[in-house]
Amino acid sequence: MLSDFSRRRLLAYGASALALAPSLARADAPHAQLITTPPDLIDGFTDMADRLMLETTIDGKGPYRFVVDTGADRSVVADDVAAYLGLLPHRDVVVQGIVRALPAPTVRLQNVSFGKITLDDVAAPVLPRKWLGADGFLGLDVIDGRKVIFDFQNRKLSVVHSGSSTGWPHFNEIVVRADGSNGRLKAVNCVVDDVEAVAFIDSGAQLSICNTPLFNELQKGGAKAIDGAEIPLIGATGGLMIGRLMEVSRIRLGDVLFTKTRLAISDLNVFDVWGLAKKPALFIGMDFLQQCSNFTIDYRHKELRFKLADFISRKDWQGGRLARL
């Protein structure tokens, strides 16, 4: 039986952690050249799954609506878009989705553009629209090494060059250090209730999801799954897993504290792919990120910045679902 929460958020679309198999990722995808003039402020919008999307052109045609996905290694394109544009398939690659791995053909895109950013010569896997729920995804091949600012309050996205220094935090802004490589940044000092965990930010995921090792540790402190609360999890590579829901008192990322919230529990394929099958881990999705008015990922300097609405002061940043320690 699905809870009310499940019905409101029926699918956890998961290009989250969309990745090419390591043995194929580099061989089939030539390094794309980025041409941009900062700053690049782009009007965005959210879809029914609360994912931030951008109008994108492919080979000068479009615009198409692409999800900006910080959990996807590569940008991908929907099958009907590739067919409409007459893009010929090249070699297959193995795409690792949250639920399963899937062989997929690649197509050669002469250029991909959004705002002032243009990527030339992109090899993109092609996946069915029914699983993507969008025209495509913009992944780490676009945003790694740069600063990405999700302005949820004004529904805008900024992609800018990361400067030589990060600068002091703005008013109502909290900085959390991150670590990792190849764009896969994990938050440093993540604690769920009293359990230390590895946390990744995934803007392509509708829900935040933890694995069984984290749930097992939380159970030692009295945590329980909610009776009858289950939710279907469908990834960008298809497949279906059923996740249980649990309530947690708090999730701390550095000095940012999420309180009175829920996590889905599921041993996703991607936890195994990223070497986290036996370690307490979770993906922080849009259900958490959109509690901020503004969220920034600086890939070059490996830091995360959370900002509340301007009308909420640091003094008042207590209680509710989002707090400052």
Q: How far apart, in whole angstroms, are the C-alpha atoms of residue 233 and residue 239? A: 8
Residue at which a domain ends, from 106, 126, 159: 159
In a domain, 97, yes or no: yes
Say yes or no: 179 and 260 in one domain: yes
Nearest in space to 73 (alpha carbons), one of 114, 125, 35: 125
Say yes or no: 182 and 154 in one domain: no
| Amino acid 31: pLDDT | 32
Q: How far apart, in whole angstroms, are the C-alpha atoms of residue 140 and residue 158? A: 15
Report in angstroms the alpha-carbon separations of 28 from 23, 31, 95, 124, 277. Answer: 10, 10, 12, 9, 27
| Amino acid 61: pLDDT | 94
Say yes or no: 184 and 303 in one domain: yes
In a domain, 81, yes or no: yes
Say yes or no: 181 and 315 in one domain: yes
Say yes or no: 200 and 150 in one domain: no
| Amino acid 35: pLDDT | 34
| Amino acid 167: pLDDT | 64
CATH of the domain at 320: 2.40.70.10
Say yes or no: 149 and 200 in one domain: no
H helices, E strands: number in the chain = 8, 23
CB atoms under 10 Å from CB of 262, counted, come to 17
Nearest in space to 6 (alpha carbons), one of 235, 217, 207, 297: 207
CA angle 255, 5, 275 (to 5 degrees): 55
In a domain, 290, yes or no: yes
Say yes or no: 47 and 85 in one domain: yes
| Amino acid 265: pLDDT | 92
In a domain, 3, yes or no: no
| Amino acid 311: pLDDT | 41
Say yes or no: 44 and 28 in one domain: yes
Q: How far apart, in whole angstroms, are the C-alpha atoms of residue 244 and residue 99? A: 15
In a domain, 2, yes or no: no
Say yes or no: 319 and 173 in one domain: yes
In a domain, 1, yes or no: no
In a domain, 7, yes or no: no
| Amino acid 309: pLDDT | 61
User: Tokens 């649990």 map to which residue?
Assistant: 246
| Amino acid 26: pLDDT | 25
Residue at which a domain ends, from 117, 144, 159: 159
Contact 155, 43 (CB under 8 A): yes
CA angle 191, 225, 237 (to 5 degrees): 80
pTM of this structure: 0.73
User: Tokens 């008042």 map to which residue?
Assistant: 316
Nearest in space to 235 (alpha carbons), one of 39, 71, 119: 71
Q: How far apart, in whole angstroms, are the C-alpha atoms of residue 161 and residue 264? A: 35
Say yes or no: 240 and 301 in one domain: yes
Report in angstroms the alpha-carbon separations of 325 from 95, 286, 317. Answer: 39, 21, 9
| Amino acid 317: pLDDT | 42
- Domain containing residue 173: 166-324
In a domain, 9, yes or no: no
Sign of CA dihedral 7, 281, 304, 310: positive
Say yes or no: 219 and 280 in one domain: yes
| Amino acid 165: pLDDT | 60
Q: How far apart, in whole angstroms, are the C-alpha atoms of residue 294 and residue 151? A: 5
Say yes or no: 79 and 189 in one domain: no
Sign of CA dihedral 285, 288, 289, 290: positive
- Count: domains in the chain: 2
Contact 210, 265 (CB under 8 A): yes
Q: Could you list the mean pLDDT of each consecutive 10-residue stretch along the chain, which spans 325 residues?
A: 30 42 29 36 51 85 87 87 93 79 88 84 91 87 81 79 66 82 75 93 84 94 86 75 89 86 87 85 87 87 81 42 44
Residue at which a domain ends, from 159, 186, 203: 159
